[in-house]
Amino acid sequence: MINTFSAWIAGKLLKNNAISADDLEVQIYGITAIICTALNYLILLALAIFFHRFVEAIIFLIFYMSLRNFIGGWHASSPLKCTVIGTILLFTYMLIAEFLPAKILTGLLLGGVALILIFMYAPSYMDKDYTPEEIASFKHKSRIIALIMLLIIVTSSFLTFWEYRITFQVYAGMGMFSAVLTMLPVRFKNLKC
């Protein structure tokens, strides 16, 4: 259904000369990826609103998405599997964050472990051939982003006047750690669903 809709949109773009016929397949793939990603996050945000955790979901997603783009990781074999598995995983990670101890060290520990694993194993791609220069760029960017994220979590520890700092730290750390969890299976085994 998503592929059909993506093909329809790409067909309209082709008909209006917004894309060339040579780019049609690439455009269909790109539109499908955008729709699936948006659908994953919309479902997660709808669940977060339902459970009164919208702000926490936004914090989680900002930290998760910022890293996921550069560290790579596991990908499902179809858009539907991506949407279903992605939503289940992201919601599960948020549930876990909900039940973690609300302590300053929780977010710092999650972010710190994520940073160490990023330095050791990122990036990790299973289905794309990147040049050594691209891999080096992803490695460099993922390390800088993770360092900045951990510095933000650490800095928030000193904002004692901010009553939500511990919630922020837990969800930010869980966002970082969750992104790393999608990277590790690819790094250790070429896993495909």
Of 37, 24, 36, 28, residue with least CA distance to 4: 28
Query: 191 pLDDT exceeds 60?
Result: no
Q: What is the pLDDT of residues 78-130, one digit of tens each?
A: 767 777 887 787 778 777 877 877 777 888 999 999 999 999 988 887 556 78
Q: What is the pLDDT of residues 129-170, one digit of tens each?
A: 788 898 889 999 999 999 999 999 999 988 888 888 888 998
Is 111 within 8 Å of 173 (Cβ atoms)?
yes
Is 80 within 8 Å of 193 (Cβ atoms)?
no
Whether the full predicted model's pTM is greater than 0.95, yes or no, is no
**What whole-number percentage of the chain has pLDDT above 90?**
26
What are the residue boundaries of the structural domains of the chain, listed by start? 53-188
